[in-house]
Structure 1
Amino acid sequence: MSLFRKIFGANNPASDIEKDNEYGQFIPNSDSPLDEKFIYNFKKNGGKFLYCENSSEIKEQFENILEENDWFEKEALCHESDLFSLLDENKINYNKPKNPTFLFANCENLIADEGSILFSSNQIKQNKPNELPINIIIIAAISQIIDSKSDGLSVIKKKYIKDYPTNITTIKYFEKAVEENFTHYGSSAKNLYLLLLEDF
């Protein structure tokens, strides 16, 4: 049984968001597995996490997010052709959107030690985080979870021998801080949904 089924139960992946309190009792330590650390820190940062066992659950959860937010037939910012079919099925325009409601993307990696999402120009082109829509839906796999940003840069170097991407950045804050301090300076809080695919 996977870690995610143990934590969130076997029947309803949509219930992951609702079980914050149950999971909040658990605080990982330095010896905890990367996936546990990532999920704890990601949720602590205000991210919304939906576990998916397969591509049909990705599709189902994506449609649930659209329905929950009334985003059907809106515009999305999306630069990755492998995601276009999900947008087409839901009549969401991604061809030169003038006012995109959300960013729909993959990512380079998920950073466990700070619960952040690592992007490059492959997903967000040359946009800075504060230039992206406030709403973001990310599809990622458990195998993309790594420990730190420096590990993320190493993975990118190995993955892209040619056509090395630019604009490598992370998004860490997924809700506006009640009291902003210097660690939030220059950051832009996002309403972020992560559809995390079991790929082991």
Structure 2
Amino acid sequence: MYEAKSKEIVLRRVREALAKSAPFLPPTPDFSSPLHLPSEDLSVEFAEAFIRNSGLFVYCENEEDFFDQLFALKREQNMQYLHVWEPNLQNILYQAGIEFTAGEEDFIQNAHASLTTCEALITRTGSILVSSANAGGRRLTVYPETHMVVAKASQLVPDIKDGLQGIRDKYKDNFPSMVSLVSGPSRTADIEKTLVMGAHGPKQLILFLIDDLPH
């Protein structure tokens, strides 16, 4: 249900973008410009790449829509333990009446699902840039079977270098000890070329993208 809705939104935006006139191309190349030229709507390009990476993309019109979609998905997938360790996320989920697990007791045994924020969304690769700077640290992005991320459209950046520069600007001399790119669920085909999901991390990666950009 969520994937179908998200794909419909992406396709609608792609059609709208294609209906516009093509941009003017300069006669000579600008060698100082980046190699990757993002589309006008970064969210469309990111969503397409994210879905190709086997991620579940959930478009949210606003924060209230995010609460509704999270509540419905949590109930649909019967997530008994949703680990949320970031105080800002805990506060808004508490206000929205969504149950979560705030403590770390029995985390390994009950690592069903987690919800975290992220540093940036990398449009070119459809990847999520995370770091150890938030309260979830490394564990909430690796151990749970389902890793859910909530981000805002304003966090979209064209390429990896833009995301890393954003982290440098944000943390300055206190650069996080871990910075990682998450590109879809963990998977491997090392054994007899059979694709196995969740081999070294979450089996499912879900992104809630809240549209906070002016229209």
What's the CA shift string for 1:60-83, capped at 9, x where partnerless? 011011011011xx2233221111
Structure 1 segments unaligned to the other structure (5+ residues): 1-11
Which residue is 1:48 aligned to?
56
Q: Is the 8 A contact 1:52 1:58 kept in 2?
A: yes
Pick closer, same or farther for the CA change 1:113–1:134 going to 2, 3 Å. same
Letter of the aligned partner of 1:154 in structure 2? Q
C-alpha separation between the residues in 2 aligned to 1:21 and 1:82? 29
Runs of 4+ in 1 over 6 A off after TM superposition: none
C-alpha separation between the residues in 2 aligned to 1:50 and 1:157? 29
Pick closer, same or farther for the CA change 1:195–1:77 going to 2, 3 Å. same
What's the CA shift string for 1:67-106, capped at 9, x where partnerless? 11011xx223322111114554333222114222111111
Letter of the aligned partner of 2:55 in structure 1? G
Which of 189, 192, 199 matches 2:205?
Answer: 192
* Partner SS state of residue 59, structure 1: helix
Q: How much does 1:171 deviate?
A: 0.9
Bigger radius of gyration: 2
After TM superposition, the score normalised by the length of structure 1 is 0.75
Letter of the aligned partner of 2:211 in structure 1? E
Pick closer, same or farther for the CA change 1:37–1:65 going to 2, 3 Å. same
C-alpha separation between the residues in 2 aligned to 1:116 and 1:134? 18
Alignment of 1:1-200 (within 5 A): 15-17=4-6, 19=8, 30-33=37-40, 34-71=42-79, 74-85=80-91, 87-88=93-94, 89-98=97-106, 99-123=110-134, 124-127=136-139, 131-161=142-172, 163-174=174-185, 176=187, 179=193, 188=201, 190-200=203-213
Please give the root-mean-square deviation of Cα atoms over the aligned residues, in Å.
3.4
Q: Is the 8 A contact 1:138 1:193 kept in 2?
A: yes
C-alpha separation between the residues in 2 aligned to 1:31 and 1:162? 30
Structure 2 segments unaligned to the other structure (5+ residues): 19-35
* Partner SS state of residue 119, structure 1: strand
C-alpha separation between the residues in 2 aligned to 1:153 and 1:21? 26
* Partner SS state of residue 60, structure 1: helix
Q: How many residues align?
A: 181
C-alpha separation between the residues in 2 aligned to 1:112 and 1:145? 6
C-alpha separation between the residues in 2 aligned to 1:170 and 1:187? 14
Letter of the aligned partner of 1:165 in structure 2? P
Which residue is 1:7 aligned to?
none
Q: Is the 8 A contact 1:13 1:52 kept in 2?
A: no
Structure having the higher helix fraction is 1
Q: How much does 1:180 deviate?
A: 6.5
Which residue is 1:6 aligned to?
none
What's the CA shift string for 1:25-53, capped at 9, x where partnerless? 98x99452332221111010011111112
